[in-house]
Chain A
């Protein structure tokens, strides 16, 4: 029997949802226009007035916001409430440039935690569960978001934060954690450590995991599910729109339901900005219609994905987004071909390798080079050099089949690639250093 945190919203009819979105959008545009000079200037430039927006069908008239705008407006330029009304700040990791800070009123925090509570409920969580939050706590939204959601859902909350993996597993055993929340790469590392400590998945009480904050593949999902004996649920979010919980997965595991009572999604052509019809791949854009302090309208996420309104077996009517193929920042153009790390990860897991790898891109004599270091599989180890070189060649061929370009594959020792407790660093692009 499927359980919902807020059935009225999660299973609302399309008409009711649209009506709610229309009302909220109209009020939000007015709020932003009146209080955020930065966005008012953008609207004026485009010749759009708040009264031009009567419902979601007018959304396309509004100007976009991008990460560059957020950086330009840093720190207070997009703030829509007096600081006195705000209760919290979070920030992006800043790995791709200057940090972005986001502000929250108490209502914003409540809305965000409500979204996370929906995700936890969809993963089977309730007051009988022990939720181990192994996302980092602090400026990063992962820890605080799931922590608040877990509280709200009435779960016993274990605020571990990330790191100290053996202690994570010790507590998991001693306190009988049933739901684990962390990044997928950290979940994989915990799974690996569980096996190393000689613990069987069935000795743990874990039943589910809620993993997000970085792209991960279906193959990685299956591998984590096996190593921890759980069902692994995806969760999506970004600091700019609150944090994890913008969208969450249900038992069907075929994409994430977007909390569209708070966030209206659109898919656009990343080149032209044109809105694309449902089912087409493009850049995901979000409009926050309930956020008070930091309400971003038409924010370009740079995540590439597909939306679907296909009926879901879980009963929720919330629109679904497919697992993003990757953030457009993660996409590398190598010898003119678009390459996502997730494509390489898929091949590695299919071929029996661990999801620990390092992609190095460089440019030598004006030609891009792609080097992939992969941990060799101890079960496939042979004393013959030619056997091991054949494994490298076979893997290179499989990757070439997927990407269309030839990589150089380097087998390295098991456990020699640094494990991540948060967001994993998988790519080093040295070409950028030459610019």
Chain B
């Protein structure tokens, strides 16, 4: 499987909450590859892809944060118009329901990467394979 581990952190919807999480990550020396923040009126969920998931989870839990780890897909596509639309078409044809997605920059300036959260990773991975879309592995992410 080429799934990638994503860390989610629960934060209150108050000033300095996201900054608190980042300070802890900074002190641990873990490097972040991707990040998105979803927010509601009450709380936010920070989603992270890190180069050392285990270490990041350990230090966040030690600081009393609610943390969980989910497997998500990560893809890399050329940075040209229409590429993301193609990806979504491929998933849509196979009836894969996308919960959420967010983009991040890889090391190449001609490609862009996305994290995709779906309910059925295996089904989505198969659809992406068939559509010829490059999936990133944990190693790819760690080496970025």
- Which of A's residues lie within 8 Å of B, judged by CB? 376, 378, 381-385, 388-389, 392, 410-416
Contacts and interface: CB of A to CB of B under 8 A. Distances in A.
B40 A413 contact: no
B42 A383 contact: no
Contact of A388 (B6, B40, B64): B40
Interface in B49-67: 64-67
Contacts of A412: 12, 42-43
B11 A413 contact: yes
A383 B65 contact: no
Contacts of B6: 383
B117 A381 contact: no
Interface string B62-78: 00111110100000000
Contacts of B67: 378, 381
Contact of B12 (A381, A392, A416): A416
Nearest to B11: A413
* Those 4 A-B pairs whose CB atoms lie nearest each other, nearest first: A383-B8, A378-B66, A410-B42, A381-B66
A413 B11 CA distance: 6
Nearest to A413: B12
Contacts of B47: 383
A412 B17 CA distance: 12
Contacts of B42: 392, 410-412
B78 to A, nearest CB: 28
A262 B12 CA distance: 51
B45 interface: yes
Given A410-B42, A413-B10, A413-B17, 13 more contacts: A376-B66, A381-B67, A382-B8, A382-B68, A383-B6, A383-B45, A383-B68, A384-B117, A385-B38, A410-B43, A413-B11, A413-B12, A415-B64
A382 B65 CA distance: 13
Contact of A414 (B8, B40, B66, B70): B66
Interface of B: 6, 8, 10-12, 17, 38, 40, 42-43, 45, 47, 64-68, 70, 99-100, 117
B12 A388 contact: no
A413 B66 contact: yes
Contacts of A382: 8, 68
A374 to B, nearest CB: 10
Contacts of A384: 99-100, 117
Given A388-B45, A412-B42, A383 B11 contact: no
A381 B38 contact: no
B8 A381 contact: yes
A413 B43 CA distance: 8
Contacts of A388: 10, 40, 43, 45
Contacts of B68: 381-383
A142 to B, nearest CB: 29
Nearest to B7: A383
A140 B38 CA distance: 47
A26 to B, nearest CB: 60
A298 B65 CA distance: 51
